[in-house]
Amino acid sequence: MSADSSTETGSRSSRPLPVRFLTPASLNLHRVFEQNEQRVQKRSGGKIPDPTRPATKGKPRLLLMGQRRSGKSSISSVVFHKLPPNETLFLESTARIQKDSLNSFMEFQVWDFPGQIDIFENPAYSFDLDAIFSEVGALIWVVDSQDDFSEATHRLSMVVLNLRRDYPHINIEVFVHKVDALAEDYRQDIVRDVRMQIADELGDNGVEELNMRFHATSIYDHSIFQAFSKVIQQLIPRLGQLEAMLTNLCRSCRFEKAYLFDVNTKIYIATDSTPEDMASYEICSDYVDVIIDFTEVYGSWPRSQQWRERLEGEPWMQPLENQVACEWAESTMVLSDAQRPVMLREVDRFLAIVAIMKEGSYDKMPQINMNVDVAVKGLTEFFEITKPKDSQEVVNPVLQG
Amino acid sequence: MSDLETTMGAAAGAPHDNSGGHASAAAAAQAQLKKVKKQKVLLMGKSGSGKSSMRSIIFSNYLARDTRRLGATIDIDLSHVKFLGNLTLNLWDCGGQEAFMENYLSQQRAHVFSNVGVLIYVFDIESRDVDRDLATYVNILSALVQYSREAQVFVLIHKMDLIQPQMREEVYNQRVSLVRKKTKEAVAIVRKQKPELLQQQQPPGTPGSTGPLSPSSSELDIDLQVFATSIWDQSLYKAWASIIHDLVPNLAVIETQLASLGVAIDADEILLFERTSFLVVSKWTSREGENNPYGDRFERMSNILKSWKHTCSKFTGTPRNAEQFSDFEYKMGPSFSLFVMKFTTNTYILVCIPPGEARFNSAKLNVAAARSWFKFLDGPVVPPSASSQMLAGGGGGAMGSYGGYGGYGAETGYGAPE
């Protein structure tokens, strides 16, 4: 997804993108992008598009839509603003589109739509559909599982019908929400019901394939984070490569399970190839929480100069930076049950590897740390390479020259 | 007994040993054998105000959301909570329905209110009938003053989470001033109506309940401590840590030992937690550490570690009361290092130290080596150097089930949820 607006009209076809950037996932994004571009050109008669708009280009956008009071704002507050779930009671209803920008390993925009407005059938507002949907990575449709969801499913199928012609590449994700009140066994039944209803609605309109994914979610447990993880993973270029790196790390260190977390949101952006389970995700994500809390309490205030001088003086005689092994956070913890260690290592400001280790491997931590060092280096390089546009903007002039 | 002697030997090797006091300390320890400091703790308040919920969270490892399952407490639910090696809390969880309340104030008055060490009175902030709550409170307080004049009183303004965050302080302050006013009234009533009761002596011979009445005690006043609490955040730990704090025997010893440990390993902060409840028993902070802007960090750490324990228990499938983790190490690059480890049988220790690999490893070793200084936390052994201060402090060295995993095994009336 190159966003070089200056050369859009002429040189695009003549200068193919460097091959190494194209993966199925990024190809997908790329296709969406080109599609949008064509449409923009058609409308504006081949003119260069408004220079103010590409500012947001390259940031995949997540749309949160659904009926009113289905829990959209609660979801975005809990996941992206760390609001304690029980305080979502006090949230006011959303009156206008709430746009959040998320600065993380990848920049996201989250748009929270007011539920009472139907953007397709509303004569009062004429929404610029292109402005809304042109850069959408995923559309998240929230269905309140504790409510009658027939209207929600009806509206969703309308949205799908409206979108499938112009924007067929938007991932549609359905969050069957507020399942915390339902019994464990009943949750999958509800999800199935929702799926059937949508399939019926779409079937009536001649759409046979159901091109969307369903997640049972609740803000009171980890399911909402897990669902978001799945959504975001779809948008990551070269996800397979990341997964392969983690799988490799697991094999060399005998990890049971490893996750790569986005620390701020507790969304995991990749995991190794072993089957995913809720239990290991929960402990790893709570581990990240504990680390964040510790860091906030003990690491967020400046120490005095004397403190530093004393620590760097006799008998150490070197700056604190040289006295530590790792620039970022590293942590281990041993579960008393079967002596299984869990480890965490920050890759950079945003990402951390969290892994559950085999029993008794605490003694091997030095070797494991070395392996993890290598993996961290690899990941850093990976993100250097796959970084969107910024890096390309630098590369492009050279290629053109 | 052989157990005891070997550990005495180990304690003698501790850096704080002064050999002069050794023999007498041993004798003192022998004399204090099997004496565990007992404290009667009354937990009272209106029905549904959250007494049993908070008790279950603090002492029985319930999750906040699990407390929904608790039914109403009928009459008095008595539990014995072993805290550290040498303190037993007799926790009287008093059902708050009016019929019971009247019963406590009439038939069971002497039974309930005598020899009380601590009264914890819980107010529901959402209560519709505040006046009535306060009237009951005044009655309870008068009964308490009548039978256990030296008891400490803690008032918890509970369910603060139900108030909108920006309103909390105001609502809380308002309620506190009301409670304080009523407390004064209660005292005044007792003073006026039953002056003869104030002269009545405590039944002697109950260890640890109250000391001899001081001459000034005829001037009756209640040292009231008020806390805003919610089971959904760390405020509950703050309140309970304060309640526990004054009850822990040998506190002075713990504090001095902790301070010398902190200085020895050059730490920034040391927190000592009780194993099961993760309440902060004692803490030490270096001068640098005092600059930490987070005044609520102690209860916050309790809360974090306790919920971490829940997470581990959920993952491993082992019971919540069991030990869940050890050796939590965390090195935050060049800003600080921290570790939490199992310390003595009944305690965990959290140490925050300046960054640096060498410093970290030596601190860990030193803390492990310092275990023997704190053996007395597990019950039977009194460290020699500490004995004199301890006896002066009036606490009792005590013999718990040494080396045993006592914990809250003796507790009644609970099953783990699920």
One domain, residues B273 and B375: yes
Grade residue A29 by pLDDT with cuts at 50, 70 and 90: low
One domain, residues A294 and A159: no
Grade residue A34 by pLDDT with cuts at 50, 70 and 90: low
Contact B331 A295 (CB under 8 A): no
**Which 249-308 residues of chain B touch chain A by CB within 8 A?**
268-269, 288, 291-294, 297, 300-301, 304, 307-308
pLDDT digits (tens, 9 = 90+) for B261-307: 999 998 999 999 998 889 999 999 998 888 888 888 999 999 999 98
Nearest-neighbour CA in chain A from B68: distance (Å) = 13
One domain, residues B345 and B287: yes
- Give the count of domains, chain B: 2
Contact A335 B315 (CB under 8 A): yes
Which residues in chain B are contacts of A327 at CB distance < 8 A? 333-334
Domain boundary among A181, A202, A233: A233
| pLDDT over 90 at A284, yes or no | yes
- The share of chain A scoring above pLDDT 90, in percent, equals 16
Contact B333 A326 (CB under 8 A): yes
* B390 in a structural domain: no
Q: What is A124-191 written as a DSSP string?
A: S----HHHHHTTEEEEEEEEETTS--HHHHHHHHHHHHHHHHH-TT-EEEEEEE-GGGS-HHHHHHHH
pLDDT digits (tens, 9 = 90+) for B25-82: 444 544 443 456 788 999 999 988 889 999 999 988 888 888 888 888 888 889 888 8
Interface mutation target, options A291, A336, A356, chain B, most CBs of B under 10 Å: A336
B315 close contact with A: CB closer than 8 A: yes
One domain, residues A246 and A373: yes
Domain that holds residue B73: 37-245
| pLDDT over 90 at A336, yes or no | no
Q: Looking at residue A150, what is its pLDDT? A: 85
One domain, residues B206 and B305: no
Contact B312 A335 (CB under 8 A): yes
CATH number at residue A99: 3.40.50.300
Q: Looking at residue B364, what is its pLDDT? A: 92
One domain, residues B339 and B239: no
Closest B-chain CA to A180: B65
* B7 in a structural domain: no
One domain, residues A339 and A284: yes
| pLDDT over 90 at A13, yes or no | no
One domain, residues A227 and A356: no
Q: Looking at residue B35, what is its pLDDT? A: 57
pLDDT digits (tens, 9 = 90+) for B202-220: 444 444 434 444 433 445 5
- Contact between A321 and B331 (Cβ < 8 Å): no
Domain boundary among A233, A267, A295: A233
Distance, in Å, from the CA atom of A153 to the CA atom of A151, rounded to the nearest integer, reads 5
One domain, residues B222 and B359: no
From the CB of residue B181, how many other CB atoms can be counted at a distance below 10 Å?
A: 11
Q: Looking at residue B213, what is its pLDDT? A: 41
One domain, residues B219 and B341: no
One domain, residues A186 and A243: no
* A23 in a structural domain: no
Across chain B, what does the average pLDDT equal?
Answer: 77
Higher pLDDT, A274 or A135: A274
One domain, residues A162 and A247: no
* B293 in a structural domain: yes
Closest A-chain CA to B330: A331
Which residues in chain B are contacts of A329 at CB distance < 8 A? 330-333
Interface mutation target, options B233, B302, B315, B316, chain A, most CBs of A under 10 Å: B315
| pLDDT over 50 at A77, yes or no | yes
B335 close contact with A: CB closer than 8 A: yes
Q: Which amino acid is at B360?
A: F
CATH number at residue A357: 3.30.450.190
| pLDDT over 80 at A391, yes or no | no
One domain, residues A252 and A229: no
**Which 341-370 residues of chain B touch chain A by CB within 8 A?**
352, 354-359
Q: Under DSSP, is residue B269 helix (H, G, I), strand (E, B) or coil?
A: strand
CA separation (Å) from B369 to A200, A364, B55, B84?
70, 23, 34, 20
One domain, residues B254 and B197: no
Beta-sheet pairing, B87-94 with B118-124: unpaired
Q: Looking at residue A354, what is its pLDDT? A: 94
- The share of chain A scoring above pLDDT 70, in percent, equals 80
- Give the count of domains, chain A: 2
Contact A330 B331 (CB under 8 A): yes
| pLDDT over 70 at A76, yes or no | yes
One domain, residues A71 and A135: yes
Domain that holds residue A85: 59-233
Q: Span B10-28, mean pLDDT?
A: 43
Contact A325 B331 (CB under 8 A): yes
One domain, residues A128 and A276: no
Distance, in Å, from the CA atom of B313 to the CA atom of B310, rounded to the nearest integer, reads 5
Contact B327 A362 (CB under 8 A): yes
Across chain A, what does the average pLDDT equal?
Answer: 78
One domain, residues A157 and A249: no
CATH number at residue B313: 3.30.450.190
Closest B-chain CA to A344: B330
One domain, residues A179 and A193: yes
One domain, residues A124 and A168: yes
Q: Looking at residue A49, what is its pLDDT? A: 39
The count of residues in chain B is: 418
**Which 221-240 residues of chain B touch chain A by CB within 8 A?**
232-233
pLDDT digits (tens, 9 = 90+) for B151-183: 889 999 999 988 888 888 999 999 999 998 888
* A4 in a structural domain: no
